[in-house]
Amino acid sequence: MFDNLSDRLGTVFDRLRGRGALSEQEVRDAMREVRVALLEADVALPVVRRFIDAVTEKAIGAEVLKSVTPGQQVVKIVNDELVEMLGGEAVEGLNLDARPPVVIMMVGLQGSGKTTTTAKLAKFLKEKHGKKALMASLDVNRPAAQEQLAVLGEQVSVATLPIVQGQQPVDIARRAMESARLQAADVLLLDTAGRLHVDEALMAEMKAVAGISSPNEVLLVVDSLTGQDAVNVARSFTEEVPLTGVVLTRMDGDARGGAALSMRHVTGKPIKFAGTGEKLDALEAFDPKRVAGRILGMGDVVSLVEKAAATIKEEDAEALARRMAKGQFDLNDLRMQLRQMQSMGGLGMLAGMLPGMKKAKAALSQSGADDKVLVHMDAIIGSMTPKERANPALLNAKRKKRVAAGSGLQVQDVNKLLKMHQEMSRAMKQIKKMGGLKGLGALLG
Ligand code: GDP
């Protein structure tokens, strides 16, 4: 999902994160690249402009550029704006608040995935909300559309309205409402007719059906692969029928993301669900935060900035930086850092933040370990003598064996820890060369 866009943005931000200090010009240059990436992803131009303006304004603020980790701060700002672009923090669920049967009307063009999505949604409502649903197809245009819904209904074990040949959509809708009432269904899903294009006859039919069924939700189903066309279709529908939300299908195959990123601002309608495959359980509630995280692929950096802001005090960071700058990074310091990591939410969060950690983490997770590793490393250091901690070079084979036994682990675990420490201190030495706190920023960023 969104692979192309994700790769492009990843390249820009990897470079940015690697910088200790950022100038305004560097931020602007990066934003120019982001702009191109978004346009290539088929995001609507006004949406791109708005986004770039908002990010630039926040990112070149004095606080960001002067911070120890400007690169990370910029990633966080971009993330927050992406969330905004996708619809904001709130996850908008379905409004099922009405006397049952609550009517959900599904609208959209032919081939958008409307019928499949209707069945997916019925399954979702049944399994996630314990709702009894009835589905009815009002699609008298497409041959076998009604039969298709009946087949899908059987697959998800949700009732469908029996087909009466020759009946017209508005009459089918009336019959469906009556039947839903008789069956005491909680929800009635109306799968309306599609067309190849938006046309007057289609809109008139949608209005008539909405008029007699008073739907709680009118969900437009659009194919995300069609990019701006999907957004334009949504705009046309918005002008005619009271849409309450959008379902974007085929997100699983969408490498670009233009429809998802433009939809909210161009149409003002929230994306409520995403179709992520042909199977009938491939439907996800659309969560802007999660999708932004996927696009940026830097969820760790984002929550790190959030958590770091909450847990690391400026003075502590500076004191540590001073020690590091003097090349004084022994196992006591490592241990302190490991404990800080634990309090900040474990190893996964910290990947890439500390010099050498990324490699260490990759090695460790290959061995199937994860946050337990932090506890193990702490135990290993705990089994050393104060002298060994201050001067790890003392640890010969015999001592390593003792430490391993003391911590209940293997000599190879001790070796791994020492190797990680070595890598970290080597990186610390670089800080010295790069000049103190700024250098630290570069390594952290
Ligand atoms: P309708 O004409 O709008 O009712 O479209 P259909 O529901 O018949 O769907 C058309 C095709 O799209 C079918 O082959 C579906 O399996 C497929 N489809 C629907 N939603 C998705 C999705 O989210 N991902 C993928 N990969 N295929 C989908």
Per-residue confidence (pLDDT) for residue 399, from 0 to 100:
95
Using the predicted structure, report yes or no on whether residue 416 has a pLDDT greater than 80: yes
Q: What are the phi and psi torsion angles at 101 (to 5°)?
A: -75, 130
User: Looking at per-residue confidence, does 283 or 364 come out higher?
Assistant: 283
pLDDT at 282 over 70: yes
In this structure, which residue's CA is closest to atom 27 in ligand 1? 278
Q: Which amino acid is at 330?
A: D
Q: Is the pLDDT of residue 440 over 60?
A: no
Return the residue matching tokens 């996927």: 294
Highest mean pLDDT among 167-176, 200-209, 296-305: 167-176
Residue 183 pLDDT > 50, yes or no? yes
Rounded CA gap, 212 and 409, in Å? 71
Distance CA 49, CA 286 (A): 24
How many Cβ atoms from other residues are within 10 Å of residue 239's Cβ?
10
Determine the distance separating the centroid of ligand 1 and the alpha carbon of 199, expressed in angstroms: 22
Rounded to 5°, the CA angle 367-306-309 comes to 110
pLDDT score, position 410: 92
Task: Report the SS3 class of residue 99.
Answer: coil
Report how far ligand 1's centroid is from the alpha carbon of 408 (Å). 55
Ligand 1 pocket, residue 116 CB under 6 Å:
yes
Q: Which residue, by CA, sits nearest to atom 6 of ligand 1?
A: 113
253 CA: nearest ligand 1 atom: 26
The Cα–Cα gap between 310 and 379 comes to: 27
Q: Would you say residue 9 has pLDDT above 50? A: yes
Q: CA–CA separation, 35 vs 48, rounded Å?
A: 7
What CA–CA distance (Å, rounded) separates 138 from 146? 7
Q: What is the pLDDT of residues 329-359, one digit of tens each?
A: 788 878 877 766 655 545 544 444 444 454 5
Out of 228-237, 267-276, 310-319, 352-361, pick the least confident: 352-361
In the reported structure, the alpha carbon of residue 146 is separated from the centroid of ligand 1 by a whole-number distance in angstroms of 15
144: left (phi over 0), alpha (psi -120 to 50) or beta: left
The pLDDT-based confidence of 290 (bands split at 50, 70, 90) is: confident
In angstroms, what is the span from residue 123 Cα to ligand 1's centroid?
Answer: 16
Task: Locate the domains of the chain by residue range.
Answer: 3-90, 102-285, 313-444
Nearest by Cα to 414 from 397, 438, 432, 390 = 397
C-beta separation of 241 from 206 below 8 A: yes
Asked if residue 247 lies in contact with residue 273, where contact means CB atoms within 8 angstroms, the answer is: yes
Of the options 1.20.120.140, 3.40.50.620, 1.20.1250.20, 3.40.50.1980, the CATH number for the domain spanning 3-90: 1.20.120.140
pLDDT at residue 310 in the model: 54
For residues 225-253, average pLDDT = 91
**Residue 148's pLDDT band (cuts 50, 70, 90):** very high
pLDDT for the residue 367: 47
When mean pLDDT is compared across 76-85, 86-95, 175-184, the lowest value belongs to 86-95
Name the more confident of 340 and 95.
Answer: 95
More confident residue, 59 or 68: 59
127 Cα distance to chain centroid: 23
pLDDT at 303: 60
Enumerate the known binding-site residues: 108-115, 191-195, 249-252
The top-level CATH class assigned to 102-285 is: alpha beta
371 pLDDT higher than 70: no
Tokens for 390, please give them. 């201050």
| Closest listed residue to residue 57, CA positions, set 81, 38, 41, 36 | 81
pLDDT for res 321: 66
pLDDT score at 315: 58
| CA dihedral sign of residues 258, 197, 103, 269 | positive
Query: Quick check: 309 pLDDT over 70?
Result: no
Residue 112 near residue 194 (C-beta atoms within 8 A) = yes
Task: Kindly state the average pLDDT of the residues 226-253.
Answer: 91
Question: What is the residue-averaged pLDDT of the chain?
Answer: 83
- 434 band by pLDDT with thresholds 50, 70 and 90: low
Tokens of 29: 């240059």
Q: Which CATH number fits the domain 313-444, given the four candidates 2.60.120.260, 1.10.260.30, 3.40.50.300, 3.40.50.10490?
A: 1.10.260.30
Best residue among 1, 107, 114, 116 to mutate for probing ligand 1's pocket (most ligand atoms within 8 Å of CB) is 116
- Rounded to the nearest whole angstrom, what is the distance from the C-alpha of residue 263 to the centroid of ligand 1? 20
267: confidence class by pLDDT, cuts 50, 70, 90: confident
pLDDT of 445 strictly over 50: no
pLDDT in the model for residue 415 = 94
Binding-site residues from annotation for GTP: 108-115, 191-195, 249-252
Residue minimizing CA distance to atom 12 of ligand 1? 113
pLDDT at 349: 45
